[in-house]
Each structure stands twice: as structure tokens, then as C-alpha cells.
């Protein structure tokens, strides 16, 4: 170590002129420098301790809240698809565009620069297809939180996102869309602006339609890359389940069009057409008119939002006669080959009862009873059945019970009490030709399915269940339902119904090559127990093919106006169009081979 | 002499050394090893800090690391040169080096490439040259020349070189690069302090420098914004306070023990310029307070070794070079950490040996080489005397 001397000597003016002696740099000054550096380092240790020990929890919490992206459930709903997978209702992603002018900055700009609203409006007006002036007007001089656009489709949103403009915020939200328009409105219902279900299945199956969503909290990089640590199990689970209907959009459309045309022609109040698979209760069509467009539901009277075919009761009239005959056969009170004397009119308990044309048909067999739809013959036939047993049958068929169905708002029919039914002879007499009690068109379809499927009471339904991805439900559910009537009884009644189409009032539904059974009905409308004159309900029920029935078609038209408004003139043409479509869509082979060949040979 | 005598028996790695390893003072050995450790640790920290961003922006996670390795090799060669060259030669080169440096800094103002409003780089082919970095070793050397015999040199000499330093500082301020200017100013002041310049003139110079800095802050909008946002970064965490807020969040979320190497979240593009100016924030987040403390203690050890080297030096020049090199290395690290932790209001300084950047590496390792050279020459076995003897024996 060289000898280190103290401070450099003070110099005077005279010192400068002479040679100044060599003065070693003082060692203590080195120490000063070192101590200054140490002072700085110690200060930093203190600062670090403050930041990383005392302030650490607060800073870390702030950092995590910045790094963690939380997604709230948007309340998306599952799609609804028809029998073949066509979309009936779906959620589409829409975007709201929010602007925060105090953060306006283009990519490549100096980070401190704040762009003027005009610059942003110029860039956006092309993409949004809005005039620039309007955008500038909307932005005004507000600092943030300006809603620029709503209902933007994902492509536009992607275009805007690609621009990378700071201070623009895209908020995604789901919107319920019904691509089939009014076609399924009566069944599916709709969501209002606040996405609350208001009608139909959207309301009745609300819980099933809610998609499984969870609030997700995900740590990620500033570019959005998710980080896999600290993730709760199932964070990325999402479902793509769909609710599948049994309805067929093609048949539904055909039915709606046919029905709407007929209702318009006859100036009727409303109409319904139901096509049901009798083997399992699936409804292939449930068309109702008038209806509404769920995409613009606010333009329609709220009365249309309820599906009357399952909620409104009516007296079925003549269409109930085959069911009565089946009950009588089942109880053994009539013989299949038996005959009954139709006198044209009779008195029951002081009340006059007559046929619709007030003419007698003489001694006729049961097929003829159905063909001419004789009220008198039906009353005489059903007299053989003890009223108490008869009432038990009506009750067993579920007239006064709420049908087991998934259709929203289905109601029970009305039936007189057993005491009244047994005590008043007029009650079983009117019930014999389908008056004096009421049911829904859906219930009538279910009861005719009993005849068609060999005696089983199947549950009418319109949903097949939730299906994942593109998969569809198996085409046919296993045979189900409670056995009420013997198959041989139903086969006999089906034969009688076939004769109605072949020779009787259902002739309009005749289709070459196919065996079709049916029964028309023209019932009087009752309000508070009093029959309204001139107010009729025209209906037609068909089952096909008769040898191995698969479908029941029910058409009911409420209050058609005109002289010749009967089931055969109002309801049968609609049913005929539906049957034609059904035969093609379901690829039902003709069964009357010989006759077809004969007809083609003749023609 | 020693070298010729023992070179044949020495292992290969020692043959290129200016002095056989056995004769190295403990300080020189420690400083060399610590520089190596510093560089290796720096590469690891840089790897962690830059990998994600490099993957996102360059398509290659190793983009920055590979370039840093190339620069590291060049810088260690330069350090080898500094180690094996006589300090007197460096001191002779200092004056011209400083003047050339001044001219290059001036050139950046005219033809420099501008990044974020500051023109600091000269682009020559694929190389980006930052003259304000490269001039640092020459500032140390020339300051040593000037202050070593402060009382003996003539007034015009003093005036020439002090005005050169002043011009350099003003040019760097003009870039604008307040932090490098401040570092250079502080360095000169501390070297003057070490040289034994009168305290009265030192204090008046410090006050003048402070006034200059204040004026610069008041005149330059961008610096004033920095200062304002430094005082309360949370006022505008998305705007002017953004960098500091992100850095504080990174440091704070490190906590006591850190997140662990490679596990910083803030480096995932939350933290800006995370591989240069704010690399310390990434380090602090990954290694926590324990890591920060280790780094600061490491720097204190470097400073202490530098002090010991300075005290052992036999000439005023080498003593001042040693203390100057120590000051610039440790001081720059202090400023960088202080900026990252929001202790002082400037930005734009690399952390020596750790931050990405070839200019900074070259400069820092050259300075480290000079410091070790001072230690070697303090033995009296190499340097001035041995050089003279060799020349005599050759002549």
C-alpha cells in the first residue's frame, strides 16, 4: 500500500506559478464515494422491503385483479331443433360497441396521444355503415361510456376488433333468433327484450333450455393467453346440448299453410291441425292459426301467445262417436255385426234429440251409423251401456284429467260429475254423440290414437330430449302407454272409420292406394252451458294406414262462417293436404295395391 | 518476465492472461468471477423476461437471448483486451475517444433513429450504435486523467476538458436522455469527489447540476410528464403512470420469496420494455425480496471490491479509474433499480450485464475489464513499470 497522505494542501496564487508537488489522491475520499454508493443501495433495500414485504399483499391483489379475466354467465340458452335437426330457435352472438373517447388511440400512435372523435368516427363509419356526422354527434364531448352501436353481427365486430383502436369496447350478448319465423311460435314461444321467457316451451322448459354456464376467473397474459395455473376443475366445460322437438318443420309448414288458407276462406276464428305418431305419442305437426312471429312478437296481440289447441276446451261432437262405439264393443253391449234403428229423432228425459238433417236412416249397421253420423242411432246404441260404467270409461279415458304431455299449459277437459251423469238420462245421451262434455283438440288426438294403435293411451309430446352436438334422438321411442281397449275392438272400429272415408262424410280425404280411416264432426259451440246458434266447430279426425296405423291427423276449425260449413267441407280438405304431405314425408307405402293398379289401368 | 518464464508450464486457459493466475490479487480474481456470475445470471433473467415477448413478437423465444449471447462473446473479448492492455495506453486514448464520442452523440441528433421520441441510435448496417453508452468508459478514463492531478494541470486544460464534459452532458440531454446524462454527471461529480477536489466547488457544481436538471424537466414536456406521473403513478394507471404502475405491480407481487424463476406474470406483456429498462421488475417478481436483497448485496460487494482495488492502486490515474469504474457500474444499477421501484423519476437506463442490448454490454464489460486491469497493475507486476522494462529489453 502506498503511503496515503491527508488532504491536498491549500494553495495560494503564488503556489500556481511554481511546480506543484505530486499529491496522491486521498484515501478517505474513496471511502466517501463507496459510502455514497452504499447509501444508495441501502436506500433501495429499504424501498424493496417496503414494496415487497409491507405493500406486497396490496400490490399483488391489484396485479391479480388486472391479470385475471372474469367472465360472467351471459345467460345463453340452448338451441331448439326440429325432428330432422333444423334450427327452430337459437342464440346468436350480437355485440354492443361502446366508445371511451378519452382512451382513443390508433395502433402505432404514441401511447400518450389521444385521438379526436372525428378520426375514430371516420374509421368506423365505413364498417358500421353509419354516416360519420352521426357518429361524431353520438360521441359528442363525453369522456367515456358512449354506446355507438347495438345488435352488431360477429363479422362486423371482428372487423372493428381488427382495427385495434384503443378506447373501443365490444360487449358480447346473446340474442334469441327464431329462423322459422311464425312456424313454431305457438309451440316454442319467445323471449322478451330482457330475455325472459314469455310463452310456449321457452317458458315451460325454461330450466332445460338454460345452458350450463359458470362464472369463470382466468389468469392470462396481456395478450389474452390463458395461464393454466390456479384453474378450478371444469373451468372450460361448456355444453352444446340442444332441445330436439318431435315436430317436422316441413309437415308443420304444410299444415300451417293449408289451415291458414282454409280459415281465411271460411272466415273462421281460428284453426288447429295436429299430426300425431300413434305408436309413441310424438307430435309431427301442431299447427295453429292465427299465430305470430316470435322475432317481432310485439307487433301481435298478446292473446295469440297462448296455444289454444291445448288450452281451450270444446265439445268434440261426432268425432267422438267412434270412441263411444269402441267402449260399447269393449264392454260387449253391442255386437260388431249388430244393427240399430235410426228413427231420426227421439226424446230423452223430455229433451228432443235429432240427427243433423232431422231424417231417419232406418235400420242401419254401425259403419253406416258413422258414415251418416246419426245422433239418434248413437243414443240408442249407448243406452245399452250402464251410465255408471259409461262414466267410468270416460273418466278412464282421461277426459277430466290433465293429459300427460310436455306441451305448455295443457288443461283437463270437463265432464259432468258421476252423480249427475247417472241421474240425468240426458247426460249419457248427449255424451253418445260427443256433446255435454268438453276436451282439447290435443286430447281428442290422444283418444283417437287409442283406436289407431290398438288400445294404448300414449302421452302426446313434442320434445324428444336434449341432444349433444349434431346427434339426433333415435327416430322412434319404444312402445308405451296404458292398454285401455282390446286390439280386436280397435281393429273393428278402424274398419268402420275406413268406411267413413270410403263412402261417408270423409270422402274428401280419400287417397288412391291408401287405406285411411276418419270421422267428421260438426259440433255446436256452447258458452256457459248454452249452445250458440250458428257457432260451429268443424273437425275431422283421420288415422292411417288403417291396416297398421301410424298417424292420427286432427283438424279443428273454430266458427267457420257459411251455409255449408261442416266437418266434411271445412276440415277434411285441410286434413287431405296434410295426409298427402305426410305420406310423402314419412315414405308410407301404398297398401291398396290392387286398387291402385286398377285405377291406373282405367286411367 | 514472469509471463515468458512460466508460460510454457501454464495450462492453456492461462496462457492468454496478462498475469499468471497465481499472481492475481484476490480482488481481481473475485471481480472476474463475479463478473462471470453476473453475466450468467443476467442471461438467465433475460431469458425469462424476454422469452414470451420474443415468441409473440419475433416468432422465436430465443430471439433476444441468441443476440445477447453474440454480444456477450464480443463484450468478453473486449474485456480481455481491456485486461491485457496497459492502462496508460487507455488513458492516452481517453481524450480522443471522448471527443469522438461527443461527435457521435451529436450525430444522433442529426441522423439518429428515433424511438419513442428520443433519438439515441446510429444505425450502421445491421448494427445499432448507441454512442451515449459507448462513450462511458472514455468519460471515466478522461475524468481520471483530468482529476488525477487536478491541482497541477493548467487552467486551459481544465477548461478544455470540463467544457468537453459539459458539451457531452448537454448533447445527451438534448437526445433527450436525462438518465444517462444524470448518470454521467453523477459519475463525474463522484470522481471529482474521490480526487480530492475542494468541497466548496463540488457543492456549487452539484447545485448547478441540480438547477440544470430542474430546468431540463421544466422545459421538456416529456420529462415533466414523467416526473408528475412518478409522484402519483396511480392517478393515471392507464396513461402516463402505466410503466411505473406495471413495474410496481410486478415487484409487489413478488412478495418475500418471489413467484419462482420463469413464473412472472407481469412479464407477459403487461410490463413494457421488460427485457431492458424494466428487467429488474421481472427479476424482483420472480425472486422476491430475498432475490432483490441478494442483488443489492452483490452490488455492495462489487462496490467494496472496487474500493479495495482503488485503495491499492499506485497511481492517481489508476486509482480514479478504479473508483470511476466501480461508480459507473454500481451507480447505473442503482439508478435502474431506483427507476423500476419508483424511487426516482427517470427511465431509459439498462441494468448492467442483465438488460438486453449490445452497446450496454460492451460498455459495461469494458469498464469491468478496466477495473480488473487496475487491480492487476496495483501488484506492480504488469502495467507501467513492466511495460517500460519490456520496452527496454526489446530496445
- Which pLDDT belongs to residue B389? 45
DSSP one-letter string for A29-74: HHHHHHHHHHHHHHHHHHHHHIIIIISHHHHHHHHHHHHEEEE---
- Which pLDDT belongs to residue A214? 75
pLDDT tens profile A387-424: 999 999 999 999 988 888 888 888 899 999 999 999 98
CB contact under 8 A, A112 and B239: yes
Cβ of A63 under 8 Å from any chain B Cβ? Answer: yes
- Which pLDDT belongs to residue A477? 58
Coarse DSSP helix, strand, coil percentages of chain B, rounded to the nearest 5 percent: 70, 5, 25
- When pLDDT is cut at 50, 70 and 90, the band that residue B9 belongs to is low
* Confidence check: pLDDT of B339 > 70: yes
Chain B residues within an 8 Å CB radius of A57? 255
Query: Which is it for strands A241-245 and A79-81: parallel, antiparallel or unpaired?
Result: parallel
- When pLDDT is cut at 50, 70 and 90, the band that residue A201 belongs to is confident
pTM: 0.68
What mean pLDDT do residues A542-550 have?
A: 88
Q: Identify which of A484, A492, A522, A517 has the alpha carbon closest to the alpha carbon of residue A399.
A: A484
- Which cell numbers hold the place of A201? 316451451
Give the alpha-carbon dihedral of A140, A144, A149, A152, to 10 degrees.
Answer: 160
* Option in A7, A38, A47 nearest B300 (CB): A38
- When pLDDT is cut at 50, 70 and 90, the band that residue A2 belongs to is very low
CB contact under 8 A, B284 and A52: yes
Burial of A173 from C-beta contacts in 10 A (0-12 / 13-18 / 19+): middle
Contact A245, A88 (CB under 8 A): yes
Q: What Cα–Cα distance (Å) separates residue B290 from each residue in B124, B125, B256, B258, B295? A: 42, 43, 6, 8, 9
Query: Which is it for strands A551-558 and A530-544: parallel, antiparallel or unpaired?
Result: antiparallel
Query: A 26-45 residues with CB below 8 A of B?
Result: 26-27, 29-34, 36-38, 40-41, 43-45
Coarse DSSP helix, strand, coil percentages of chain A, rounded to the nearest 5 percent: 40, 20, 40
Contact B48, B264 (CB under 8 A): yes
- Which pLDDT belongs to residue B99? 93
Cβ of A46 under 8 Å from any chain B Cβ? Answer: no
List the Cα angle B251/B358/B330 in 5-degree steps.
Answer: 50
What mean pLDDT do residues A108-131 have?
A: 82
Cβ of A22 under 8 Å from any chain B Cβ? Answer: yes
- Which pLDDT belongs to residue B388? 45
- Which pLDDT belongs to residue B390? 46
Cβ of B220 under 8 Å from any chain A Cβ? Answer: no
Residue extent(s) of CATH 3.90.1310.10 domains in chain A: 93-172
* Confidence check: pLDDT of A603 > 50: no
DSSP one-letter string for A409-451: T----B---HHHHHH-THHHHHHHTT-SSBB-HHHHHHHHHHH
The segment with the largest mean pLDDT, out of A96-110, A522-536, B100-114, B331-345, is B331-345
pLDDT tens profile B232-264: 888 777 777 888 899 999 999 999 999 999 989
State the count of interchain CB pairs (< 8 A) between A and B. Answer: 165
pLDDT tens profile A457-489: 998 988 888 887 777 666 555 567 888 999 999
In the annotation, is A318 catalytic? Answer: yes
- When pLDDT is cut at 50, 70 and 90, the band that residue B118 belongs to is low
CA pair distance B311, A31, nearest whole angstrom:
9
The label of the residue with cell 350450463 reads: A212
What distance in Å separates residue A114's CA from the closest CA in chain B? 10
* Confidence check: pLDDT of A111 > 70: no
pLDDT tens profile B349-371: 899 999 998 999 999 999 999 99
CATH of domain A249-298+306-602: 3.40.710.10
CA pair distance A431, A425, nearest whole angstrom:
10
What distance in Å separates residue B251's CA from the closest CA in chain A? 6
Residue extent(s) of CATH 3.40.710.10 domains in chain A: 249-298+306-602
Contact A570, A284 (CB under 8 A): no
pLDDT tens profile B126-163: 888 889 899 999 999 999 999 988 888 888 988 999 99
- Which pLDDT belongs to residue A4? 42
Residue ranges of domains in chain B: 26-382
Phi, psi of A304 (to 5 degrees): -75, -10
Which of the residues A288, A318, A499, A568 is marked catalytic? Answer: A318
CA pair distance A502, A493, nearest whole angstrom:
14
- Which pLDDT belongs to residue B347? 66
Question: Between 3.90.1310.10, 3.40.190.10, 3.40.50.12280, 3.90.950.10, what CATH number should domain A93-172 receive?
Answer: 3.90.1310.10
The DSSP 8-state label assigned to residue A295 in this structure reads G
Amino acid at each position: 500500500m502506498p503511503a496515503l497522505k491527508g488532504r491536498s494542501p491549500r494553495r495560494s496564487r503564488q503556489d500556481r506559478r511554481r511546480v506543484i508537488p505530486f499529491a496522491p489522491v486521498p484515501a478517505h475520499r474513496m471511502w466517501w464515494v463507496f459510502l455514497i454508493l452504499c447509501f444508495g443501495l441501502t436506500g433501495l433495500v429499504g424501498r424493496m422491503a417496503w414494496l415487497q414485504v409491507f405493500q406486497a399483499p396490496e400490490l399483488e391483489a391489484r396485479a391479480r385483479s388486472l391479470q385475471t379475466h372474469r367472465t360472467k354467465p351471459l345467460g345463453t340458452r340452448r338451441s331448439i331443433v326440429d325432428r330432422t335437426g333444423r334450427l327452430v330457435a337459437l342464440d346468436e352472438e350480437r355485440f354492443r360497441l361502446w366508445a371511451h373517447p378519452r382512451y382513443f388511440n390508433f395502433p402505432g400512435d404514441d401511447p400518450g396521444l389521444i385521438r379526436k372523435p372525428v378520426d375514430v368516427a371516420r374509421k368506423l363509419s365505413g364498417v358500421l355503415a353509419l354516416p360519420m356526422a352521426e357518429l361524431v354527434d353520438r360521441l359528442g364531448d363525453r369522456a367515456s361510456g358512449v354506446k355507438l352501436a347495438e345488435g352488431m353481427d360477429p363479422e362486423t365486430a371482428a372487423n372493428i376488433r381488427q382495427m385495434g383502436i384503443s378506447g373501443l369496447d365490444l360487449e358480447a350478448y346473446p340474442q334469441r333468433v327464431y329462423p322459422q319465423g311464425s312456424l313454431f311460435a305457438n309451440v316454442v314461444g319467445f323471449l322478451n327484450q330482457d330475455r325472459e321467457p314469455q310463452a310456449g316451451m321457452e317458458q315451460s322448459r325454461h330450466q332445460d333450455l338454460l345452458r350450463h354456464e359458470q362464472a369463470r376467473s382466468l389468469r392470462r397474459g396481456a395478450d389474452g393467453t390463458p395461464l393454466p395455473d390456479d384453474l378450478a376443475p371444469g373451468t372450460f366445460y361448456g355444453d352444446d346440448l340442444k332441445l330436439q322437438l318431435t315436430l317436422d318443420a316441413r309437415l308443420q309448414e304444410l299444415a300451417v299453410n293449408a289451415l291458414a288458407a282454409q280459415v281465411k276462406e271460411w272466415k273462421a276464428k281460428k284453426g288447429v291441425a295436429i299430426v300425431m305418431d300413434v305408436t309413441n305419442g310424438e307430435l309431427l305437426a301442431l299447427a295453429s292459426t292465427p299465430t305470430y312471429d316470435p322475432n317481432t312478437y310485439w307487433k301481435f296481440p298478446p292473446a295469440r301467445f297462448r296455444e289454444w289447441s291445448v288450452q281451450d276446451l270444446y265439445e268434440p261432437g261426432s268425432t267422438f262417436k267412434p270412441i263411444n262405439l269402441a267402449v260399447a264393443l269393449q264392454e260387449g253391449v253391442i255386437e260388431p255385426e249388430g244393427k240399430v234403428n235410426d228413427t231420426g229423432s227421439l226424446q230423452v228425459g223430455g229433451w228432443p234429440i235429432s240427427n243433423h238433417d232431422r231424417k231417419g236412416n232406418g235400420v242401419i249397421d254401425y259403419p253406416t251409423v258413422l258414415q251418416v253420423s246419426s245422433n239418434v242411432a248413437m243414443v240408442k246404441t249407448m243406452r245399452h251401456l250402464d251410465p255408471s260404467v259409461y262414466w267410468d270409461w270416460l273418466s278412464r279415458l282421461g277426459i277430466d284429467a290433465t293429459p300427460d304431455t310436455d306441451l305448455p299449459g295443457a288443461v283437463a277437459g270437463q265432464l259432468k260429475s258421476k252423480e249427475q251423469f247417472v241421474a240425468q238420462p240426458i247426460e249419457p245421451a248427449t255424451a253418445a254423440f260427443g256433446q255435454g262434455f268438453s276436451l282439447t283438440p290435443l286430447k281428442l288426438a290422444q283418444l283417437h290414437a287409442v283406436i289407431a294403435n290398438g288400445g294404448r293411451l300414449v302421452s302426446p309430446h313434442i320434445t324428444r330430449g336434449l341432444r349433444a352436438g349434431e346427434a339426433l334422438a333415435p327416430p322412434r321411442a319404444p312402445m308405451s302407454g296404458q292398454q285401455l281397449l282390446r286390439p280386436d275392438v280397435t281393429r273393428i272400429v278402424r274398419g268402420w272409420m275406413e268406411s267413413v272415408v270410403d263412402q261417408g262424410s270423409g270422402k274428401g280425404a280419400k287417397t288412391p292406394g291408401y287405406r285411411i280411416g276418419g270421422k267428421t264432426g260438426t259440433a255446436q259451440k256452447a258458452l256457459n252451458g248454452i249452445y250458440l246458434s250458428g257457432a260451429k266447430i268443424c273437425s275431422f279426425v283421420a288415422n292411417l294406414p288403417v291396416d297398421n296405423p301410424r298417424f292420427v291427423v286432427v283438424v279443428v276449425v273454430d266458427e267457420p262462417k257459411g251455409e255449408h260449413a261442416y266437418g266434411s267441407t271445412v276440415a277434411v280438405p285441410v286434413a287431405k293436404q296434410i295426409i298427402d304431405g305426410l305420406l310423402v314425408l314419412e315414405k308410407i307405402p301404398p297398401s291398396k295395391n290392387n286398387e291402385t293398379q286398377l285405377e291406373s289401368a282405367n286411367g | 518476465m514472469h509471463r515468458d518464464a512460466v508460460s510454457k508450464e501454464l495450462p492453456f486457459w492461462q496462457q492468454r492472461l496478462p498475469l499468471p493466475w497465481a499472481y492475481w490479487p484476490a480482488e481481481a480474481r473475485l471481480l472476474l468471477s463475479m463478473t462471470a456470475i453476473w453475466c450468467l445470471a443476467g442471461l438467465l433473467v433475460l431469458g425469462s423476461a424476454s422469452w414470451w415477448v420474443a415468441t409473440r413478437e419475433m416468432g422465436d423465444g430465443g430471439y433476444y437471448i441468441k443476440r445477447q449471447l453474440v454480444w456477450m462473446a464480443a463484450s468478453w473479448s473486449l474485456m480481455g483486451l481491456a485486461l491485457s492492455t496497459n492502462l496508460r495506453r487507455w488513458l492516452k486514448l481517453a481524450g480522443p475517444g471522448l471527443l469522438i464520442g461527443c461527435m457521435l452523440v451529436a450525430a444522433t441528433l442529426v441522423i439518429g433513429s428515433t424511438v419513442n421520441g428520443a433519438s439515441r441510435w446510429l444505425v450502421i448496417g445491421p448494427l445499432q450504435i448507441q454512442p451515449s453508452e459507448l462513450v462511458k468508459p472514455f468519460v471515466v478514463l478522461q475524468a481520471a486523467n483530468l482529476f488525477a492531478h487536478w491541482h497541477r494541470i493548467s487552467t486551459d486544460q481544465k477548461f478544455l476538458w470540463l467544457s468537453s464534459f459539459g458539451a457531452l452532458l448537454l448533447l445527451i440531454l438534448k437526445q433527450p436522455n436525462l438518465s444517462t446524462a444524470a448518470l454521467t454527471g453523477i459519475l463525474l461529480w463522484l470522481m471529482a469527489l474521490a480526487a480530492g477536489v475542494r468541497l466548496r466547488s463540488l457543492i456549487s457544481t452539484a447545485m448547478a447540476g441540480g438547477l440544470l436538471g430542474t430546468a431540463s424537466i421544466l422545459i421538456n414536456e416529456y420529462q415533466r410528464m414523467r416526473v408528475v406521473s412518478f409522484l402519483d403513478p396511480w392517478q393515471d394507471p392507464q396513461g402516463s403512470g402505466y410503466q411505473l404502475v406495471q413495474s410496481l405491480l410486478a415487484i409487489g407481487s413478488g412478495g418475500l420469496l418471489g413467484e419462482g424463476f420463469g413464473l412472472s406474470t407481469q412479464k407477459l406483456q403487461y410490463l413494457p420494455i421488460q427485457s431492458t429498462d424494466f428487467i429488474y421488475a421481472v427479476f424482483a417478481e420472480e425472486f422476491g425480496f430475498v432475490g432483490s436483497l441478494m442483488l443489492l448485496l452483490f452490488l455492495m460487494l462489487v462496490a467494496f471490491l472496487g474500493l479495495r482495488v482503488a485503495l491499492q492502486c499506485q497511481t492517481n490515474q489508476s486509482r480514479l479509474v478504479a473508483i470511476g469504474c466501480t461508480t459507473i457500474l454500481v451507480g447505473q444499477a442503482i439508478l435502474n433499480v431506483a427507476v423500476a421501484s419508483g424511487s426516482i423519476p427517470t427511465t431509459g437506463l439498462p441494468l448492467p450485464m442483465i438488460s438486453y442490448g449490445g452497446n450496454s454490454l460492451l460498455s459495461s464489460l469494458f469498464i469491468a475489464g478496466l477495473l480488473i486491469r487496475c487491480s492487476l497493475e496495483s501488484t506492480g507486476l504488469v502495467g507501467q513499470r513492466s511495460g517500460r522494462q519490456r520496452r527496454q529489453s526489446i530496445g
